[in-house]
Structure 1
Amino acid sequence: MSKGDTIRIESFIEFMESLAPPEIALQGDRIGYHGPEIEVESVLVLMDYLDDVPVDGYDLLVLHHPPQVEPPIPYYVAHSNWDVADGGACDALADALGLDVESFLDPETGLGRICRGDITLEELMERTCDLRPGTVRVVNPREYLDRVAVVSGFGLSDRDLIKRAFSEGAYVYLSGDLTHASAVLARNLNMTLIDAGHHATEMPGLLRLCDMIEGLGLVVDITDTGTPWTEYRYETF
């Protein structure tokens, strides 16, 4: 592993909080630094901590999702505060899709973005495929898209966000984690949902965060942990 600059963890925390202030996190979110006082030279960025991902040789993990098992080294979590932050995960997703942000989807929390579309569904699907989602599910395809709501990660599992997008005139909503109930709601609203997956819609934000941390002069690597399952289709049985 190459050598980089070294900073105290206090300085790293200050930097991260300047990007994604802890006070904008959703209530109950387990964000921030977890570990003792250390000096940081090498950082590994992960969406999810998995115990089969090698972390030896790194001083610090930067995780997007709070870990479900405790990592063996200190870690920093930037989760919902990074999703809603100015320039954070939701903005990174909009940028990756070539969409111009108009406003917040949920002004109260800062979650999600409503964007000007002025494109066809085919054009948006081509841009979505650049995220390498594996599969994309679409509810109520429509030819022309003038306003598009986006949320990185979980957005299609939240029916209140779907209703909010509809009430704001964003009849196309792209995110991940589509559920059966959400799809039924969208069918009844005649609203288009595009499920590009939780992982794929969060990767633009994780890559942006990695680039920002590299600006500190540290050694920064990113491991794409992918989706935590394998898909099988009935043709393979």
Structure 2
Amino acid sequence: MKIVDLISWFEEWANPAWCESWDNCGWQVEPGVLQESARVLVCLTPTLAVMEEAIAHHANVIFAHHPLIFTPPKSFRRGEAISEMVRLAFIHNIGIYTAHTNFDQVPDGTADVLAQILELQEVSPIVPAVSGFGYGRVGELEKSLTLQELLAIIQQRLSPPDLIFSPTADLQQQISRVAVLGGSGASFISAVVKTGAQVYLTSDCKFHQFQESRDRNLILVDAGHYATERPACDRLSQKFISLNLDWVQLSQQDEDFREFFNSRV
């Protein structure tokens, strides 16, 4: 399949026109690869390490969730990460394509995959958007679990380096309704409360957002940005594999950008 046909297929599913006004979806760098047979490296965040991986595997597309460029740069200077990415992309003829807030909303996107991992039933968007899609997902657990059991499942299935949750007096509290949103989802707390969810799984939450959630009887669970969005990249790579492209791989150089000190080591 040619790259131009792959992108057309993808954009019928996750139209870049659905992205937010502050976002930057679609081609970040297109050095003239559209008519080439697709060799795709899927990643969460395009970095120099990912670019080196793409070069090593002779990939011609880096398909990323996070944009390489959020705001228009004022200059490109050698030694700066974005400039180096662009330089290497043109030297090695590697396109960089991003699907961000458009990919967040669709079936099998970031939120939908999280809901599937927790096996939520009767799922609907937290905030509906175009064509019945929308941001986040809320649904019912297949059977009620204690909060402690649910936290253990999240830890097991997402493998976050650290799991933070709202203070609660009762880890044996029964949980049946859960909301999820991959990436930075604290701004959706008010919308989640309206859904009747007891637990909200997301990431990048601040001190006072945990306070707000507790005051509104919502248990906030922060599993980290990487752990909540990386599974959707894995799912996307599996979809690409089903298209019988020349070569597809999920990046092995994606980074969490955070390490947690363990004083017991």
Length-normalised TM-score, structure 1: 0.88
Q: Contact 1:153–1:177 (CA<8 Å) still a contact in 2?
A: yes
Residue 26 in structure 1 maps to residue 20 in structure 2 = yes
Please give the secondary structure, in 1, of the residue aligned with 2:138.
Answer: strand
Please give the secondary structure, in 2, of the residue aligned with 1:75.
Answer: strand
Question: Which residue of the other structure, out of 30, 43, 47, is the alignment partner of 1:46?
Answer: 43
Per-residue deviation at 1:145?
1.2
Per-residue deviation at 1:16?
1.1
Per-residue deviation at 1:233?
4.7
The correspondence of residues 61-72 of structure 1 with structure 2, limited to 5 A, is: 61-68=62-69, 69=82, 70-71=85-86, 72=89
Partner Cα distance (1:93, 1:101) in 2: 14
Match of 1:148 in 2: 178
Question: Which residue of the other structure, out of 219, 224, 232, is the alignment partner of 1:192?
Answer: 219
Q: CA RMSD in A?
A: 1.9
Match of 1:59 in 2: 60
Q: Which has the larger radius of gyration?
A: 2
Match of 1:126 in 2: 152
Q: Contact 2:185–2:202 (CA<8 Å) still a contact in 1?
A: yes
Residue 82 in structure 1 maps to residue 100 in structure 2 = no
Structure 1 portions without partners, runs of 5+: 1-6
Match of 1:175 in 2: 202
Length-normalised TM-score, structure 2: 0.79
Residue 116 in structure 1 maps to residue 140 in structure 2 = yes
Please give the secondary structure, in 1, of the residue aligned with 2:126.
Answer: strand
Please give the secondary structure, in 1, of the residue aligned with 2:232.
Answer: helix
Partner Cα distance (1:21, 1:81) in 2: 6
Residue 11 in structure 1 maps to residue 35 in structure 2 = no
Aligned AA for 1:214?
A: I
Per-residue deviation at 1:195?
0.7
Per-residue deviation at 1:111?
0.3
Structure 2 portions without partners, runs of 5+: 70-81
> Deviation digits for residues 114-160 of structure 1, max 9, x if unmatched?
1113322122222211211111001034521121110011113x2xx
Q: In percent, how many aligned pairs have the same letter?
A: 30
Per-residue deviation at 1:88?
1.5
Per-residue deviation at 1:171?
2.6
Partner Cα distance (2:194, 2:39) in 1: 46
Q: Which has the higher helix share?
A: 2
Per-residue deviation at 1:232?
2.3
Please give the secondary structure, in 2, of the residue aligned with 1:124.
Answer: helix
> How many residues were matched structurally?
227
Partner Cα distance (1:40, 1:77) in 2: 19
Per-residue deviation at 1:28?
2.8
Q: Contact 1:165–1:171 (CA<8 Å) still a contact in 2?
A: no
Per-residue deviation at 1:82?
0.8
Q: Mean Cα displacement is larger for which, 101-110 or 90-99? A: 101-110
Partner Cα distance (2:32, 2:135) in 1: 32
Q: Contact 2:138–2:177 (CA<8 Å) still a contact in 1?
A: yes
